[in-house]
Amino acid sequence: MCMGMRVYNFIRIRIPNTPAYMMQKYSVTDEDIGFISEKCVAVLGYGSQGRSQARNLRDSGISVIVGNRPGKSFDLAVSDGFSVMSVRDAVMRSDILAVFFPDESAADIYLKDIAPFLKEGQCLVFAHGFNIHYGFIVPPKFTDVVLVAPKGVGPMVRKLYEDGSGVPSLIAVHQDHTGRALNLALGFAAGIGSSRSAVLASTFRDETETDLFGEQAVICGGLPALIFAAYDTLVKAGYPPELAFSECAHEVKLVVDLIYEGGFSKMHDFVSKTAGYGGITRGARVIGDDSRKQMTTILNEIQSGEFAKEWMAEKRAGSKKYAGLVDQVKNSDIETTGAEFRGLLT
């Protein structure tokens, strides 16, 4: 089906006392899937995001093939009922290429198995802007390059789709050779279920840098470090390790769920006034000026590309340092205590 260009309206999200730059929400529906309904989408890489998005796209009526290297993921895609082939064969047979390989591997795979086989007018879809933003992948000008970044892990992308909703997605256009790059991005976002929730306009730069900062300063860095430090403080003071784990790790999910559902306001509506007062008056002493300065330094390293270069160098060196750090975490006292505490709950 040949469809003309559509004009998309924006809904501007206004928040008091914020800078002039605001995110925009596309007012789109599942009808936008028509822009890719007669195209072949190659899902390249069948990990957490690749598998979830491939199944969502297929269930939305889109023709999907999978390109992957031999191994467990290849076999899983076959068992899921997809036509599975080498990456280069998938590239040559498709119109839209959804690249889901890990950040540290994508550039090498792109140079070897994707770039030599690209055709004019194909669209490259990325779920994270890392390799485009930092220049590790530089697509030819005769391709469209877009970002469709679901704000949720792969299993959640699939679960919410099956439940009849979807995770929000950020979308951006890096190259628009065909004049239809935005339409394809919106159609892809609809195909994975994001139009049921929210499709928000962004840029490759903003998505990449904020995503990395959130991971490092909070989700995978700051929060675990805070939990480790609080646990150690209680254990060294003589409290039972299981109790320390319960108070400093186990209950985190309960509070985070409240924040997720209704913000800090809902948290304060549900926790005790003792907890609320103690948290507000003492929290800033834990995350003080030094912590904020470190956050600024972390952000500067992300913005300058220093972190990206460091991580890619670590990958080229065999990721031995990273593997050692992960082993330290897995073999730590808090991990042992956590397992024992969870055993008490069964």
Q: Tens-of-pLDDT digits for all 346 residues of the chain? A: 333 334 344 444 433 344 445 788 887 766 677 888 889 999 999 999 999 999 999 999 999 999 999 999 999 999 999 999 999 999 999 999 999 999 999 999 999 999 999 999 999 999 999 999 999 999 999 999 999 999 999 999 999 999 999 999 999 999 999 999 999 999 999 999 999 999 999 999 999 999 999 999 999 999 999 999 999 999 999 999 999 999 999 999 999 999 999 999 999 999 999 999 999 999 999 999 999 999 999 999 999 999 999 999 999 999 999 999 999 999 999 999 999 999 998 7
Phi, psi of 259 (to 5 degrees): -65, -40
Are 137 and 103 in contact by the 8 Å Cβ rule? The answer is no
The residue from 171, 202, 233 where one domain ends is: 202
Domain region containing 138: 25-202
What SS3 string covers 161-188?
HHCCCCCCEEEEEEECCCCCHHHHHHHH
Question: Which CATH number fits the domain that encloses residue 36?
Answer: 3.40.50.720
**Which amino acid makes up residue 341?**
F
Same domain, 249 and 275: yes
Ligand-binding site membership of 175 (annotated): no
Active site residue 250: no
Same domain, 228 and 187: no
Same domain, 224 and 103: no
Ligand-binding site membership of 154 (annotated): yes
Q: Is residue 215 part of a domain?
A: no
Same domain, 177 and 229: no
Q: Which residues contact 270 (CB under 8 A, 6 or more apart)?
A: 258
Same domain, 154 and 261: no
The residue from 202, 230, 256 where one domain ends is: 202
Phi, psi of 11 (to 5 degrees): -110, 115
Ligand-binding site membership of 251 (annotated): yes
User: According to the model, what pLDDT value does residue 33 have?
Assistant: 75
Ligand-binding site membership of 242 (annotated): no
Q: Is residue 214 part of a domain?
A: no
Q: Is residue 6 part of a domain?
A: no
SS3 109: helix
Give the CA angle between residues 136, 62, 71 to the nearest 5°.
Answer: 55
Ligand-binding site membership of 247 (annotated): yes
Burial (0-12, 13-18, 19+ Cβ within 10 Å), 94:
buried
Q: Is residue 3 part of a domain?
A: no
User: According to the model, what pLDDT value does residue 31 have?
Assistant: 65
Name the domain count of the chain: 2
Query: Edge to edge, what strands does the sheet with 40-44 contain?
Result: 10-12, 24-26, 199-201, 169-175, 144-150, 123-126, 96-99, 40-44, 63-67, 83-85
Element (DSSP H or E) covering residue 78: helix 72-79
Q: Is residue 149 part of a domain?
A: yes
Same domain, 287 and 171: no
